Structure 1
Amino acid sequence: MPDTYATLRSVLTSAFRVPEEEIRPELTLAQLDLDSLALTELVLILHERLGVKIDAEHASRGTTLARIVEHLDALRAGTTVGTGDAGAAVGPHGTGGAGPADRASATGGAVTAAHS
Protein backbone atom coordinates (compact mmCIF):
# COMPACT_ATOMS: atom_id res chain seq x y z
CA MET A 1 0.00 0.00 0.00
CA PRO A 2 1.57 3.33 -1.00
CA ASP A 3 2.27 5.93 1.67
CA THR A 4 -0.68 8.33 1.61
CA TYR A 5 1.25 11.48 2.52
CA ALA A 6 3.93 10.73 -0.08
CA THR A 7 1.23 10.18 -2.70
CA LEU A 8 -0.48 13.45 -1.79
CA ARG A 9 2.85 15.31 -1.97
CA SER A 10 3.56 13.75 -5.36
CA VAL A 11 0.16 14.79 -6.72
CA LEU A 12 0.54 18.33 -5.40
CA THR A 13 3.98 18.75 -6.95
CA SER A 14 3.30 17.05 -10.29
CA ALA A 15 -0.30 17.99 -11.07
CA PHE A 16 -0.54 21.37 -9.33
CA ARG A 17 3.09 22.54 -9.48
CA VAL A 18 3.27 23.20 -5.74
CA PRO A 19 6.96 23.45 -4.81
CA GLU A 20 7.88 20.46 -2.67
CA GLU A 21 9.55 22.60 -0.01
CA GLU A 22 6.23 24.45 0.54
CA ILE A 23 4.24 21.31 1.32
CA ARG A 24 3.72 20.75 5.06
CA PRO A 25 1.05 18.70 6.87
CA GLU A 26 -0.35 21.69 8.76
CA LEU A 27 -1.07 23.74 5.63
CA THR A 28 -4.56 23.99 4.21
CA LEU A 29 -5.43 23.54 0.56
CA ALA A 30 -6.22 27.27 0.42
CA GLN A 31 -2.73 28.09 1.69
CA LEU A 32 -1.38 26.06 -1.22
CA ASP A 33 -3.52 28.20 -3.58
CA LEU A 34 -5.80 25.38 -4.73
CA ASP A 35 -9.13 26.70 -6.00
CA SER A 36 -12.40 24.75 -6.23
CA LEU A 37 -11.60 23.36 -9.68
CA ALA A 38 -8.20 22.17 -8.44
CA LEU A 39 -9.90 20.52 -5.44
CA THR A 40 -12.17 18.56 -7.77
CA GLU A 41 -9.18 17.45 -9.81
CA LEU A 42 -7.27 16.54 -6.63
CA VAL A 43 -10.13 14.29 -5.47
CA LEU A 44 -10.19 12.54 -8.85
CA ILE A 45 -6.43 12.01 -8.97
CA LEU A 46 -6.32 10.68 -5.41
CA HIS A 47 -9.18 8.34 -6.25
CA GLU A 48 -7.22 6.98 -9.21
CA ARG A 49 -4.00 6.60 -7.23
CA LEU A 50 -5.36 5.28 -3.93
CA GLY A 51 -8.63 3.62 -4.89
CA VAL A 52 -10.79 5.58 -2.44
CA LYS A 53 -12.79 8.73 -2.97
CA ILE A 54 -13.00 11.52 -0.45
CA ASP A 55 -16.03 13.77 -0.41
CA ALA A 56 -16.06 17.56 -0.60
CA GLU A 57 -16.39 17.83 3.19
CA HIS A 58 -12.93 16.31 3.58
CA ALA A 59 -11.31 18.18 0.69
CA SER A 60 -12.39 21.77 1.25
CA ARG A 61 -10.05 24.74 0.98
CA GLY A 62 -9.86 24.89 4.78
CA THR A 63 -8.77 21.27 5.18
CA THR A 64 -5.17 20.63 6.20
CA LEU A 65 -3.04 18.09 4.39
CA ALA A 66 -2.78 16.12 7.64
CA ARG A 67 -6.60 15.83 7.85
CA ILE A 68 -6.82 14.69 4.23
CA VAL A 69 -4.18 12.01 4.84
CA GLU A 70 -5.93 10.91 8.04
CA HIS A 71 -9.26 10.62 6.22
CA LEU A 72 -7.74 8.78 3.24
CA ASP A 73 -5.97 6.34 5.55
CA ALA A 74 -9.25 5.66 7.38
CA LEU A 75 -11.06 5.08 4.08
CA ARG A 76 -8.32 2.75 2.89
CA ALA A 77 -8.48 0.80 6.15
CA GLY A 78 -12.28 0.69 5.98
CA THR A 79 -12.65 2.29 9.40
CA THR A 80 -14.73 5.37 8.62
CA VAL A 81 -18.20 5.75 10.06
CA GLY A 82 -20.92 4.92 7.60
CA THR A 83 -18.84 2.98 5.10
CA GLY A 84 -21.33 0.11 5.25
CA ASP A 85 -21.66 -2.30 2.35
CA ALA A 86 -19.63 -1.14 -0.64
CA GLY A 87 -22.37 -2.36 -2.99
CA ALA A 88 -25.21 -0.58 -1.24
CA ALA A 89 -26.71 2.44 -2.92
CA VAL A 90 -27.07 5.45 -0.69
CA GLY A 91 -29.52 8.14 -1.68
CA PRO A 92 -28.94 11.86 -1.20
CA HIS A 93 -30.79 11.81 2.11
CA GLY A 94 -28.48 9.24 3.70
CA THR A 95 -30.85 6.35 3.09
CA GLY A 96 -30.88 3.46 0.68
CA GLY A 97 -33.73 5.06 -1.24
CA ALA A 98 -33.72 7.77 -3.82
CA GLY A 99 -34.91 11.27 -3.03
CA PRO A 100 -37.63 13.09 -5.01
CA ALA A 101 -35.15 14.53 -7.52
CA ASP A 102 -33.72 11.09 -8.20
CA ARG A 103 -37.18 9.63 -8.67
CA ALA A 104 -38.02 12.50 -11.02
CA SER A 105 -35.00 11.82 -13.22
CA ALA A 106 -35.78 8.10 -13.21
CA THR A 107 -39.35 8.77 -14.38
CA GLY A 108 -38.49 11.27 -17.06
CA GLY A 109 -38.91 14.35 -14.90
CA ALA A 110 -42.31 13.64 -13.38
CA VAL A 111 -42.72 12.92 -9.71
CA THR A 112 -45.98 11.12 -9.21
CA ALA A 113 -47.89 10.55 -6.02
CA ALA A 114 -50.02 7.50 -5.34
CA HIS A 115 -53.73 8.27 -5.15
CA SER A 116 -56.16 6.09 -3.24
Structure 2
Amino acid sequence: MNLISCHILDSTFGKNASEIRVTLRSLNDNEQIFVTNATSDGRIKESFESQENQLFELNIASNDFLKECSNMDFSIIPDIPIKFMAKKQNSHYHFSVVFSPSSYSVISVVSDLDNSI
Protein backbone atom coordinates (compact mmCIF):
# COMPACT_ATOMS: atom_id res chain seq x y z
CA MET A 1 0.00 0.00 0.00
CA ASN A 2 1.08 3.58 -0.71
CA LEU A 3 -0.06 6.94 0.55
CA ILE A 4 -0.56 10.07 -1.53
CA SER A 5 -1.00 13.52 -0.05
CA CYS A 6 -1.29 16.92 -1.62
CA HIS A 7 -1.51 20.51 -0.39
CA ILE A 8 -3.06 22.81 -2.99
CA LEU A 9 -2.80 26.60 -2.82
CA ASP A 10 -4.64 29.11 -5.00
CA SER A 11 -2.33 32.11 -5.55
CA THR A 12 -5.06 34.08 -7.38
CA PHE A 13 -7.10 34.55 -4.23
CA GLY A 14 -4.27 33.84 -1.76
CA LYS A 15 -5.92 30.91 0.00
CA ASN A 16 -6.06 27.15 0.31
CA ALA A 17 -7.93 25.50 -2.55
CA SER A 18 -10.68 24.07 -0.36
CA GLU A 19 -13.02 21.53 -1.97
CA ILE A 20 -11.02 21.40 -5.23
CA ARG A 21 -11.57 18.10 -7.08
CA VAL A 22 -8.61 15.73 -7.32
CA THR A 23 -8.50 12.49 -9.32
CA LEU A 24 -5.89 9.72 -9.34
CA ARG A 25 -5.71 7.48 -12.41
CA SER A 26 -3.39 4.64 -13.36
CA LEU A 27 -1.95 5.38 -16.80
CA ASN A 28 -0.86 1.77 -17.32
CA ASP A 29 -4.45 0.51 -17.57
CA ASN A 30 -6.42 3.80 -17.60
CA GLU A 31 -8.14 2.84 -14.33
CA GLN A 32 -9.53 5.55 -12.07
CA ILE A 33 -8.24 4.94 -8.54
CA PHE A 34 -10.14 7.68 -6.69
CA VAL A 35 -11.89 11.03 -6.98
CA THR A 36 -11.94 13.23 -3.91
CA ASN A 37 -12.28 16.85 -2.85
CA ALA A 38 -9.67 18.67 -0.82
CA THR A 39 -10.42 19.57 2.77
CA SER A 40 -11.03 23.15 3.88
CA ASP A 41 -7.27 23.58 4.25
CA GLY A 42 -6.65 22.46 0.65
CA ARG A 43 -5.33 18.99 1.45
CA ILE A 44 -5.96 15.43 0.39
CA LYS A 45 -4.63 12.20 1.86
CA GLU A 46 -5.54 8.85 0.30
CA SER A 47 -4.09 5.35 0.18
CA PHE A 48 -3.64 3.45 -3.07
CA GLU A 49 -2.19 0.20 -4.36
CA SER A 50 0.41 -0.01 -7.10
CA GLN A 51 2.68 -2.35 -8.97
CA GLU A 52 6.41 -1.67 -9.15
CA ASN A 53 7.15 1.14 -11.65
CA GLN A 54 3.47 1.86 -12.28
CA LEU A 55 2.67 5.22 -13.90
CA PHE A 56 -0.05 7.46 -12.40
CA GLU A 57 -1.60 10.83 -13.05
CA LEU A 58 -2.89 13.01 -10.25
CA ASN A 59 -5.27 15.52 -11.83
CA ILE A 60 -6.35 18.73 -10.11
CA ALA A 61 -9.43 20.48 -11.53
CA SER A 62 -8.02 24.01 -11.24
CA ASN A 63 -10.18 25.77 -13.85
CA ASP A 64 -13.43 24.34 -12.42
CA PHE A 65 -12.29 25.59 -9.01
CA LEU A 66 -11.51 29.09 -10.32
CA LYS A 67 -14.88 29.28 -12.11
CA GLU A 68 -16.70 28.35 -8.89
CA CYS A 69 -14.74 30.89 -6.83
CA SER A 70 -15.00 33.83 -9.22
CA ASN A 71 -17.78 33.04 -11.72
CA MET A 72 -15.25 33.77 -14.45
CA ASP A 73 -13.76 31.38 -16.97
CA PHE A 74 -10.39 33.04 -17.40
CA SER A 75 -7.89 30.22 -17.15
CA ILE A 76 -6.27 28.78 -20.26
CA ILE A 77 -5.06 25.84 -18.17
CA PRO A 78 -8.06 23.48 -17.76
CA ASP A 79 -6.46 21.28 -15.12
CA ILE A 80 -3.15 20.38 -13.51
CA PRO A 81 -1.89 16.92 -14.52
CA ILE A 82 0.90 15.53 -12.35
CA LYS A 83 2.41 12.33 -13.73
CA PHE A 84 4.52 10.21 -11.41
CA MET A 85 5.94 6.72 -11.21
CA ALA A 86 5.31 4.55 -8.14
CA LYS A 87 8.69 2.85 -8.01
CA LYS A 88 8.01 0.63 -5.00
CA GLN A 89 5.42 -0.33 -2.38
CA ASN A 90 5.00 1.31 1.03
CA SER A 91 5.86 4.80 -0.15
CA HIS A 92 4.39 8.18 0.67
CA TYR A 93 4.08 10.53 -2.31
CA HIS A 94 3.50 14.18 -1.37
CA PHE A 95 2.84 17.02 -3.80
CA SER A 96 2.66 20.72 -2.95
CA VAL A 97 0.88 22.67 -5.69
CA VAL A 98 0.53 26.44 -6.13
CA PHE A 99 -1.56 27.64 -9.07
CA SER A 100 -3.11 30.66 -10.77
CA PRO A 101 -5.10 31.02 -14.02
CA SER A 102 -1.91 31.15 -16.09
CA SER A 103 0.62 28.99 -14.23
CA TYR A 104 1.27 26.31 -11.67
CA SER A 105 4.20 24.97 -9.69
CA VAL A 106 4.61 21.50 -8.22
CA ILE A 107 7.05 20.27 -5.58
CA SER A 108 7.18 16.52 -4.95
CA VAL A 109 8.62 14.52 -2.08
CA VAL A 110 8.78 10.73 -1.80
CA SER A 111 9.52 8.89 1.42
CA ASP A 112 9.05 5.45 2.93
CA LEU A 113 5.75 5.09 4.79
CA ASP A 114 7.71 4.26 7.94
CA ASN A 115 9.51 7.62 7.67
CA SER A 116 6.53 9.50 6.29
CA ILE A 117 6.24 13.28 6.10
TM-score range, shorter chain: under 0.3
TM-score (norm: length of structure 1): 0.27
Higher helix share: 1
Structure with greater contact order relative to length (CA < 8 Å, sep ≥ 6): 2
TM-score (norm: length of structure 2): 0.27
